[in-house]
Amino acid sequence: METGFGKGCHLHLIDGSAFIFRAYHALPPLTRKSDGLPIGAVAGFCNMLHRYVEGNTGADAPTHVAVIFDKGSHTFRNDMYDLYKANREAMPEDLRPQMPLTREATRAFNIACKEMEGWEADDIIATLAVQAREAGGRCTIISSDKDMMQLVGGGVEMLDAMKNRRIDVDGVHEKFGVGPERVVDVQALAGDSVDNVPGAPGIGIKTAALLINEYGDLETLLDRATEIKQPKRRQTLIDNRAQIELSKKLVQLDENTPLDFTLEDLEVKDPEPEALMTFLAEMEFRTLSKRIADQIGVEAPVIADAPAKAADGAAADAPEDKPFDPEAYEWVKDRARLEDWAARAVAKGYVAVDTETTGLDDMVVDLVGVCLSIEPGEACYIPVAHKKGAADDLFGSEEMAEGQMSVDEVLEVLKPVLEDASVLKIFQNAKYDCKILKRYGVSVAPIDDTMLMSYALQAGLNRHGMDALSELYLSHQPISIKTLLGTGKSAITFDRVPIEDAVKYAAEDADITLRLWQKFKPQLHQQQVTTVYETLERPLSPVLAEMEMHGVKVDRDTLSRMSNAFAQKMAGLEAEIHDLAGENFNVGSPAQLGEILFDKMGLEGGKRGKNGKYSTGADVLEDLATENDLPARVLDWRQLSKLKSTYTDALQDHINPDTGRVHTSYVQTGANTGRLASTDPNLQNIPVRSEEGRRIREAFVAEPGKTLISLDYSQVELRILAHIADIEALKQAFRDGQDIHAMTASEMFDVPMEEMTPEVRSRAKAINFGVIYGISGFGLARNLRIPRGEAQDFINRYFERFPGIRTYMDDTKAFAKEHLYVQTLFGRKIHMPQINAKGPHAGFASRAAINAPIQGTAADIIRRAMIRMPEAIKDLPAKMLLQVHDELIFEVEDSAVDDTIAVARAVMEGAAEPAIKLDVPLIVDAGQGQNWAEAH
DNA sequence: CCTGTCACG
DNA sequence: GACGTACGTGACAGGG
């Protein structure tokens, strides 16, 4: 039964095309298994639609809803202006066939689906929004398209579904500087490069808003254009009047589209399970259909597996995808069954292994169980430390659950297999499991690691966690650990999970790992990254494990004394700040500080960020500090606050009670360029630049009788740039051991080296770094705090003197645009899926593309050094402890300091060879001392 | 959970 | 005076 649309009703209008394009760009090019039909955009679209429907609960839920699509490419706007949207790129080939399917998907979710030949979706949305408003109801437009901001107001709002941000009249003001009713005026002037709306040349949104606010509306402005003071602006408006008026017609949405339906037709309906399931099954969306089926309480459709198709008569070698069946996993309870699994692993030559533990810190947690998988769909779980009773018993029991073997017995059987050189052990993130097993006396080898394979194959395309990989490459959503453990305060540890449940979760992980391995292994060759995986990834993992387990000694007393000193200084500064402000406030709150500075004290230069708050970053405060004491004190306070909370306080909590040392964790797949990341704690950002901060390094000490040594590559990225871009002048300077920044300065500013001043040198230094980062006039200007034009002059001069750099940058960008990835000298691929994007993403991607081969090659070189290091120093009483991108830190017995420096330096300086012979020497500087501050 | 801020190379 | 911009990370605090 239909009800009328009126007061109390809430209409949702979804911009269908926006959903589709977001889905298309967010997902890899998935295809339907049975016939290879491109299906990624449909999958993403359905996920978004589903997530949207799920979110529709509570008082704000819509009563009416529709998804609106564009139909055809010719609209009445093309009749007015044949270049309208003319610079749009053609729809990607693999997206076109998915268009009708997105309509089917919408109908399958039982949501009204509307489009009209000759009108854009925006016009239909405009018409419906106005109808809803006139009927006294509300309307939410789910889109972030600024073209629709003209509709906001009077009960109409927009919602950016991805950012989950509502856009109301204030939001429109923020974007356009005018209210919704004047948005078209501003757009008419500013034009729109995306839609190819011409506007007035040389006038952007800022200027347009200024003019409209001054003259009231576009027509008045154009009529009175002769009154404008700026001659250029005045002439532009007079000369381009017709074009501006046309632009307004183009951006003005048609609120009277002749619709063949009414608001009443859009009433929200529950999905009909059968229709929805049929569609999802047809698309072969296993994960989604299962998830939705579970939620609405129906049976998930059975989706047949693809027949293994033979290509060119040859047998298909793609592993056949068996369905995931948690009931098929085995709970291993006795020695006989375990020995059977062990024997099968040995016979097969490989086995996927996963360990379950009581937590995340591999230096602390206990082993709870082990899982094995040898065939897809077949896996077992061997529990060793599950406790009795969990759910019903608040404290749990300390008694062991039934059906388990002892850890000792299990490892007695598995150790020979895990250490068997002829059996490959496959892990997802082997470093974690191997460290656990090492603590139980098992040295696992040889290994493969699906996480590292994914990193070698897909860096830049996706993250490399198991859940993400399973969804992306197996279309299977694994059981979430949270469903077993809960979250927050009430979370339990894995040893409290009932074994029946643990079997399903844990064994599935081993199953997934095995399937991913089968999928990725042939890919390594096809993508030509086998060498990267085998020489830069796999062998590094055990080296990192070793470093992490060794840890670095940190002196708690030193830190604690510093904490106290910082606290005192901060208290003093805080009192001063409150005094200067004339009121008490939270100095640590940027929001409160902004109000004090710019509202209460009325200082100039307050800029609001996108959340409407004033920006109070260090650069802002530094500018203010020249005139005022308060911002200067805040800067001091902030520095101390950072040092105290992040370093002197937090670091103490990371001292392992058993070892008295700090054990960081390196994330080998953390940075797309090949760099490592360090977490828990991050030991790659210990302060060094400020005197006060550097003292924190005094707390990193050597054991008595030992010394810390630090070796770091000198200007490694610039050397690599000189080599890759083949800049003879730079290369020669490095060969001659010259001061490279001074030499650059001399070349650029025609200053003889003897007469070089620190100021000129430091400018050249900034430019040298800028080049590595993908230089821009704006960025350099900000860095050097000089006018933009001046910065641009420097850059131009730099390119004149070193034309090879410009060539390198252009070639690298072109390569990236063609191949969608860039490469290091050692063959590491860093994917750049955004490189051909339009809009603001483009700049980011192209600078990242310029930087990645340089940063990545440097990362590869130090990796090679680290991999060779254990063998090189094995006869020395020395341990490698830390890596900080271009620096390695060792702890060594006092007697062997010089020997270790000599050996480690040789390894580091020769690390590129023999794979690559650089045209420039690599130079390593060394330091030593009782603590890191002295050694660095 | 997200954002701003700031520590490092 | 179109637009937004240096590259790569992780941790902490505030605030909704």
A662 touches A653 (CB < 8 A): no
Task: Concatenate the DSSP letters of all residues of A395-447 into one string.
Answer: S--SSBPSS---HHHHHHHHHHHHT-TTSEEEESSHHHHHHHHHHTT----SE
Q: Please check the confidence at residue A15 and state whether its pLDDT lies above 90.
A: yes
d(CA A76, CA A118): 6
Rounded to an integer, the average pLDDT of A281-310 is 78
What are A97's two structure tokens?
Answer: 């066939």
Neighbours of A172 (CB within 10 A): 25
- Name the token pair of A735: 């060969």
What residue has its CA nearest to the C1' of C4?
A: A840
Is 70 exceeded by the pLDDT of residue A910? yes
Hunting for tokens 């040389």 — which residue is that? A202
Nucleic strand C near CB of residue A203 (< 7 Å): yes
| A489: Cα separation from own chain's centroid | 28
Mean pLDDT of A377-389: 94
pLDDT for the residue A221? 92
- Predicted confidence band of residue A393 (pLDDT cuts 50, 70, 90): low
pLDDT of residue A746: 93
If DSSP states are collapsed to H, E and C, what string results for A877-920?
A: CEEEEEECCCEEEEEEEHHHHHHHHHHHHHHHHCCCCCCCCCCC
Model confidence band, residue A312 (pLDDT cutoffs 50, 70, 90): very low
Assess whether A774 (CB) lies less than 7 A from strand C. yes
Q: Which nucleotide does the CA of A693 lie closest to, via C1'?
A: B7
Residue type at A382 in one-letter notation: I
| Multiple choice CATH, A326-538, 3.30.450.90, 3.40.50.460, 3.30.420.10, 3.30.70.560 | 3.30.420.10
Condensed to tens digits (0 to 9), the pLDDT of residues A456-503 reads 999 999 889 999 999 899 989 898 888 888 877 678 899 999 999 999
Find and give the residue nearest to B7, measured CA to C1': A685
- Contact between the CB of A885 and strand B at under 7 Å: yes
Q: Nearest to residue A547, comparing CAs of A863, A889, A877, A874?
A: A889
- Whether the beta carbon of A884 falls within 7 A of nucleic chain B: the reply is yes
Give one word for A271, left, alpha or beta, with left for phi > 0 and alpha for psi -120 to 50: beta
The residues facing A165 across adjacent strands are: A160
Q: Is the CB of A207 under 7 A from strand C?
A: yes
Strand C within 7 A of A778 CB = yes
Specify the nucleotide whose C1' lies closest to residue A847 (CA): C7
Calpha distance A727→A709 (Å, rounded): 33
Yes or no: say if A423 and A351 are a contact pair by the CB < 8 Å rule: yes
Domain boundary assignment for chain A = 10-266, 326-538, 574-662
Nucleotide nearest to A773 (CA to C1'): C7
Q: A216: which residues sit within 8 A by CB, 6+ positions away?
A: none
* Topology match between the domains A10-266 and A326-538: no
Residue A509 has pLDDT above 50, yes or no: yes
pLDDT at A314: 38
Cβ contacts of A696 within 8 Å, gap of 6 or more:
A559, A562, A643, A647, A648, A651, A686, A687
Rounded Cα gap, residues A641 and A679, in angstroms: 20
pLDDT at res. A396: 66
| pLDDT above 70 coverage of chain A, percent | 96
Residue A639 CA to residue A636 CA, distance in Å, equals: 5
A593: nearest nucleotide, CA–C1' criterion: C14
Who contacts A618 (Cβ-Cβ below 8 Å, separation ≥6)?
A: A635, A638
Assigned token pair, A557? 């007393």
Place of tokens 């080599």: A723
pLDDT recorded at residue A610: 64
Q: Which of these, A740, A769, A716, lies nearest to A911 by C-alpha position?
A: A716
| Cα A377 to Cα A506: distance, rounded to the nearest angstrom | 13
Closest nucleotide C1' to the C-alpha of A640: B6
What is the token pair recorded at A645? 């909370």
Distance CA A195, CA A216 (A): 26
Is A677 (CB) below 7 Å from strand C? yes
Q: Which residues contact A648 (CB under 8 A, 6 or more apart)?
A: A559, A560, A562, A563, A566, A696, A699
Q: Is the CB of A635 under 7 A from strand B?
A: yes
Q: Name the residue with the least CA to C1' distance from nucleotide B9.
A: A885
Cβ atoms A124, A260 nearer than 8 A:
no
- Give whichever of A21-30, A220-229, A710-719 has the largest mean pLDDT: A710-719
Q: Are A46 and A284 in contact (CB under 8 A)?
A: no
Token pair of A212 as six digits: 């409209």
Given this model, what pLDDT does residue A317 score?
40
pLDDT tops 80 at residue A390: no
User: Half-sphere exposure (CA, 13 Å, Cβ side) for A126?
Assistant: 21
Q: Which nucleotide lies closest to A772 by the C1' atom and the CA atom?
A: C7
Phi-psi map region of A544: left, alpha, beta (phi>0 left; psi -120 to 50 alpha): alpha
A783 touches strand B (CB under 7 A): no
Nucleotides of B under 7 A from a protein CB: 3-9
Q: How far is the CA of A469 from the C1' of B5 (A)?
A: 32
3-state SS of A436-459 is HHHHCCCCCCCEEEHHHHHHHHHC
- Nearest-nucleotide field for A712 (CA, C1'): B9
Contact A509, A466 (CB under 8 A): yes
What tokens appear for A471 in the block? 């969804």
Bridge pairing between strands A447-449 and A424-427: parallel
Q: Cα dist. A175→A178, A183, A612 in Å? A: 8, 9, 12
pLDDT reading at A313 higher than 50 = no
pLDDT digits (tens, 9 = 90+) for A587-607: 888 888 888 888 888 888 777
Give dist(CA A746, CA A67) in Å, integer: 63
DSSP secondary structure, A215-250, as one string: HSSHHHHHHTGGG-SSHHHHHHHHHTHHHHHHHHHH
Q: What are residue A290's phi and psi, to 5 degrees?
A: -65, -45
pLDDT of A25 reads: 75
- The token pair at A159 is 């919602």
* Contact, A616 CB vs strand B, < 7 Å: yes
Q: Is the CB of A646 under 7 A from strand C?
A: yes
pLDDT tens readout for residues A199-243: 898 888 888 988 999 899 999 999 998 888 888 888 889 988 999
Q: Looking at the C1' of nucleotide C3, which residue has the nearest alpha carbon?
A: A840
In this prediction the pTM is 0.71
Q: Which residues contact A838 (CB under 8 A, 6 or more apart)?
A: A89, A194
**CATH ID of A574-662, from 1.20.1060.10, 2.60.40.1930, 3.40.50.2000, 3.20.20.70:** 1.20.1060.10
Q: Please state which of the ranges A77-81, A129-133, A384-388, A671-675 shows the lowest mean pLDDT.
A: A77-81
Q: Which nucleotides of C are covered by protein (CB under 7 A)?
A: 1-15
What is the CB neighbour count within 10 angstroms for residue A660?
13
Q: Is the CB of A679 under 7 A from strand B?
A: no
Of A274, A283, A268, nearest to A104 (Cα)? A283
In A27-71, which ranges are continuous DSSP H helix? 40-55
**A667 CB inside 7 Å of strand C:** yes
Mean pLDDT estimate for chain A? 90
Mean pLDDT for the stretch of residues A264-287: 90
- How many residues does the structure list for chain A? 936
**Which two tokens mark A889?**
């830190």
Residue A615 CA, nucleotide C14 C1', distance (Å): 14
What confidence score (pLDDT) does residue A318 get? 45
The β-bridge relationship of strands A10-15 and A138-142 is: parallel
Domain A10-266 -> CATH class:
alpha beta
Tell me the CA distances in angstroms from A779 to A725, A776, A789, one per residue in order. Answer: 22, 5, 12
Q: What is the pLDDT of residue A311?
A: 40
Whether the beta carbon of A782 falls within 7 A of nucleic chain C: the reply is yes
DSSP bridge partners of A266? none
Q: How far is the CA of A686 from the C1' of B8 (A)?
A: 6
Q: How far is CA A342 from the centre of its chain?
A: 39
Return the closest nucleotide (C1') to the Cα of A590.
B4
A770-816 pLDDT, tens digit per residue, is: 989 888 888 888 888 888 889 999 999 999 999 999 999 999 999 99
Q: How far is CA A840 from the centre of its chain?
A: 17
CB A373 within 8 A of CB A352: yes
pLDDT of residue A308: 44
- What is the amino acid identity at position A214? E
Task: Say what the pLDDT of residue A24 is.
Answer: 81
Burial class (CB in 10 A: 0-12, 13-18, 19+), A571: exposed
Q: What is the pLDDT of residues A68-84, one digit of tens each?
A: 999 877 888 988 888 88
